[in-house]
């Protein structure tokens, strides 16, 4: 792909930058001939593999991973539709097997409550069967009518991690919600993506949930992206799907449930938060290639240089790094451009004069070139990787701080949400909420915001002036 024409647009023109970097850094091929469906390039898939490896590591502490079927029979799906009115407008239907019409239409899962919960009704008999903490990472299908966009709004969500838990009481389900939020915070900390966690307003919660806690981040253009949600489902689904257990007194009790999901939006956030005008910047932990070695080939001494390069590669691989030697017949500058675009944190050049005592190291976008004593290479690389990761995190934290504004005057609202997220005081009345959304042409994102970036002290409602208004986030979202 290095012969691609033109250069990456400025990140300030975020929409063009985002579309361009997806193919220029070989993340996703958007040419698949179905709207809202995209193809993972192998390099992009390497990022996904590591990002979801972290997610599995965190969930596997106390969840079990499994797989439920993709196809959901209409009667089960319609139980949700009539009780909970969730996804009937977004669901795809399979109506034929070959040329034979199916006697029962099958839904492609938009999310898997109606596939999983009839099975949970069979799995749960007694108190002893609880809690269940199960997740799956699957593709799901949603007939999105809003603007589709790779990694952000797909019709086939290729990397849909959905956890579905079952508990004896509402309170136990609530503590599971808190557990899930902490796990999501830890996940995004590992990706160096700062998040704003808040409680969605009642009119925007997940269909069938008691409440929804959302994990948002702020994209480079100031709009928010919902990169995770945790839902307390109460006993709504257990009543619809008869998931009951016999309690210690021999009585049948309805279970209380939670579900929480993350999709490839996590990767959209990773790319968008850390990338810059020169290309991707990836936290080393999820970079498919962490170090590229560029041998500076001089005629006559090619042998020695290649030998030194392979020796260096082996040493770094033994230290646990993912290393590549770039032996392509390209000018060094073209090689640098190629790997910089792909967010490889660290480059080592090794040439004939460096053979015995030093290697020239370049750290992506932060330092110039510096010669490293060959003997210290591992400790120096370890140090540089940590420094580099901190630079990413500091930039990301500054970005959030610079795009989150306390707003006290109605007149400042629309200007603020055109560049970031406004934090206002809201009395909690729906009319004031409607007014806030009307004036700002943005949405109420949430209340009970878990952040120390803004003062949580109550104040007068920005619309009606009533005292004791709660801090509420307002913003435009993807
Ligand atoms: N069309 C889509 N494309 C990409 N990601 C999506 C799409 N729709 C939702 N998501 C992501 O998937 C997450 C979970 O979706 S959800 O509808 O909020 N929640 C559920 O489906 C629940 N069953 C929890 S798994 C969302 O927070 C959002 O980050
Ligand atoms: Zn008010």
Among the bound ligands, name the one nearest to the CA of residue 434. 2
Token pair, residue 457, equals: 């002290």
Q: How far apart are CA 187 and CA 51, in angstroms?
A: 9
Return phi, psi of residue 317, to 5°: -65, -40
**What are the boundaries of each domain within the chain?**
14-274, 289-382, 404-475
- Alpha-carbon distance of 427 to 177, in angstroms, equals 26
Please tell me the distance between residue 263's alpha carbon and the centre of ligand 1 in angstroms: 6
Kindly state if the Cβ of 140 falls inside 6 Å of ligand 1. Answer: no
Single pTM value for the model: 0.96
pLDDT tens for residues 152-200?
A: 999 999 999 999 999 999 999 999 999 999 999 999 999 999 999 999 9
Residue 79 CB–ligand 1 contact under 6 Å: no
Architecture of domain 289-382: 3-Layer(aba) Sandwich (3.40)
pLDDT digit string, tens, across residues 89-143: 999 999 999 999 999 999 999 999 999 999 999 999 999 999 999 999 999 999 9
C-alpha distances out from residue 141 to 34, 94, 216, 398, Å: 13, 12, 22, 36
Instruction: Report the separation in Å between the CA atom of 444 and the middle of ligand 2, taken as the mean of its atom positions.
Output: 13
Query: Would you say how long the chain is, in residues?
Result: 478
Superfamily of domain 404-475: C-terminal domain of ProRS (3.30.110.30)
Q: For residue range 345-392, what is the model confidence (pLDDT) as tens digits?
A: 999 998 876 556 568 888 888 777 888 888 899 999 999 999 999 999
Task: Tell me the ipTM for this assembly.
Answer: 0.99
229 lines ligand 1 (CB under 6 A): yes
Are 14-274 and 289-382 in the same CATH fold? no
pLDDT band at 2, cuts 50/70/90? very low
Most informative mutation of 35, 265, 270, 445 for ligand 1 (most atoms within 8 A of CB): 265
Confidence (pLDDT) at 375 = 87
Q: Considering every ligand atom shown, identify the ligand nearest to the alpha carbon of residue 465 and give its number.
A: 2
CB 172 within 8 A of CB 131: yes
* Ligand 1 in reach of 84 Cβ (< 6 A): no
Measured from the Cα of 212, ligand 1's closest atom is 18
Kindly indicate whether the domain formed by 14-274 is annotated with CATH number 3.40.50.1100: no
Cα 248 to Cα 128, 133, 245, 303, distances in angstroms: 10, 21, 10, 76
Residue 233 C-alpha to ligand 2 middle, in angstroms? Answer: 28
Averaged confidence pLDDT in the chain: 95
């Amino acid at each position: 792909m290095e012969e691609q024409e033109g250069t990456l647009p400025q990140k300030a023109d975020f929409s063009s930058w985002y579309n361009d970097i997806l193919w220029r850094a070989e993340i996703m091929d958007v040419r698949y001939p179905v709207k809202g469906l995209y193809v993972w390039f192998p390099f992009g898939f390497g990022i996904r593999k590591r990002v979801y490896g972290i997610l599995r590591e965190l969930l596997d502490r106390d969840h079990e991973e499994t797989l439920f079927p993709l196809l959901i029979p209409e009667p089960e799906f319609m139980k949700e539709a009539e009780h909970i009115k969730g996804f009937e407008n977004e669901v795809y239907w399979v109506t034929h097997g070959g040329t034979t019409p199916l006697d029962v239409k099958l839904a492609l899962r938009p999310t898997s409550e109606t596939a999983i919960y009839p099975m949970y009704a069979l799995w749960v008999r007694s108190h002893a069967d609880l809690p269940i903490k199960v997740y799956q990472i699957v593709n799901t299908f949603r007939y999105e009518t809003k603007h589709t966009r790779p990694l952000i709004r797909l019709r086939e969500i290729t990397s849909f991690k959905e956890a579905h838990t079952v508990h004896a009481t509402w309170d136990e389900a609530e503590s599971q919600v808190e557990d899930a939020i902490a796990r999501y915070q830890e996940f995004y900390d590992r990706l160096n993506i700062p998040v704003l966690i808040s409680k969605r307003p009642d009119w925007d919660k997940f269909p069938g949930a008691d409440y929804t806690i959302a994990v948002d981040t702020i994209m480079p253009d100031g709009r928010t992206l919902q990169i995770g949600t945790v839902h307390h489902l109460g006993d709504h689904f257990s009543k619809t799907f008869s998931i009951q257990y016999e309690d210690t007194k021999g009585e049948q009790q309805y279970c209380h449930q939670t579900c929480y999901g993350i999709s490839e939006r996590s990767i959209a956030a990773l790319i968008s938060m850390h990338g810059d005008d020169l290309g991707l910047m990836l936290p080393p932990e999820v970079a498919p290639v962490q170090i590229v070695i560029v041998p500076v080939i001089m005629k006559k001494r090619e042998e020695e240089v290649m030998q030194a390069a392979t020796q260096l590669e082996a040493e770094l691989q033994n230290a646990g790094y993912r290393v590549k030697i770039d032996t392509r017949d390209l000018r060094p500058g073209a090689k640098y451009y190629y790997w910089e675009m792909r967010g490889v944190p660290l480059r080592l050049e090794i040439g004939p004069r460096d053979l015995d005592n030093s290697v020239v190291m370049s750290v992506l976008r932060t330092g110039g070139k510096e010669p490293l004593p060959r003997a210290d290479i591992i400790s120096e690389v370890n140090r540089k990787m940590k420094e580099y990761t901190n630079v990413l995190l500091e930039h990301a934290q500054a970005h959030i701080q610079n795009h989150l504004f306390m707003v006290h005057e109605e007149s400042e609202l629309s200007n603020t949400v055109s560049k970031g997220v406004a934090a206002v005081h809201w009395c909690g009345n729906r009319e004031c909420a409607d007014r806030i959304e009307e004036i700002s042409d943005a949405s109420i994102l949430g209340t009970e915001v878990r952040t120390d970036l803004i003062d949580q002290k109550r104040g007068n409602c920005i619309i009606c002036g009533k005292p004791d208004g709660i801090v509420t986030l307002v913003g435009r979202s993807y």
